[in-house]
A and B are shown apart, each in its own frame.
Chain A
Amino acid sequence: AQSVTQPDIHITVSEGASLELRCNYSYGATPYLFWYVQSPGQGLQLLLKYFSGDTLVQGIKGFEAEFKRSQSSFNLRKPSVHWSDAAEYFCAVGAGDYKLSFGAGTTVTVRA
């Protein structure tokens, strides 16, 4: 069975600074990987996804993520954060069946 670890529970970043959120997965084959964002009181919104091909994927809101098979990682990055990026971010892995496994989430706080 697949699983996901997000090592950072909470990250604080200054507005305009870069952001990187870590995600490590456990799965024997090539997984389907997703990053979702959840604003307070809202549902989860898809930021980006990786299925195959180019290991650097671009998403919405200026986010990108890089799939590194050797490190079993799928880290999310943004070069310059905006106050509106304050939210909770979830990494998820799918294995081609019904199950999508989510990490525990990373809360991002943006300070002025």
Chain B
Amino acid sequence: NAGVTQTPKFRVLKTGQSMTLLCAQDMNHEYMYWYRQDPGMGLRLIHYSVGEGTTAKGEVPDGYNVSRLKKQNFLLGLESAAPSQTSVYFCASSLVAGNQPQHFGDGTRLSIL
């Protein structure tokens, strides 16, 4: 009964390094999302996907790239990490958008030094 699984759970990077966050869901959901959570700002959408092979920009896409090669996986990449990308990153998935609740992973805590 895994739901949405994010790896890794914690990571510390140096400025300029790159990394990929992995999100996997086992609910056969079409839609997947990447959010970042910062104190006092709620969750902000970075990128989303409406199905395998598709991706689209959300509110705050700059500095991030994504890929959805398989329906169950959604990857978030940081090509050249910056301190402003220090945040908690959440992945979510849903059957369809809008009128169905999103199911969230436990988050990845990322610090950029």
Contacts and interface: CB of A to CB of B under 8 A. Distances in A.
A49 B103 CA distance: 13
A44 B98 contact: no
Given A32-B98, A49-B101, A94-B98, A43 B43 contact: no
Interface size class of A (residues with CB under 8 A): 20 to 34
A103 B101 CA distance: 16
Given A98-B50, A102-B43, A43 B56 contact: no
A96 B97 contact: yes
Given A9-B40, A42-B106, A102-B43, A97 B101 contact: no
A66 B79 CA distance: 44
Contacts of A104: 40-42
B34 interface: no
Contact of B97 (A4, A90, A97): A97
Interface in A16-71: 32, 34, 36, 41-46, 49, 51
B61 to A, nearest CB: 13
B77 interface: no
Interface in A68-112: 90, 94-100, 102-105
B4 to A, nearest CB: 7
Contacts of B92: 44
Given A43-B4, A43-B90, A44-B90, A100 B41 contact: no
Given A32-B99, A43-B4, A98-B50, A90 B43 contact: yes
A96 B42 contact: no
18 contacts: A9-B40, A34-B101, A36-B104, A43-B104, A43-B106, A43-B107, A44-B92, A46-B101, A90-B43, A96-B97, A97-B97, A99-B45, A100-B97, A100-B98, A102-B43, A103-B42, A105-B40, A105-B42
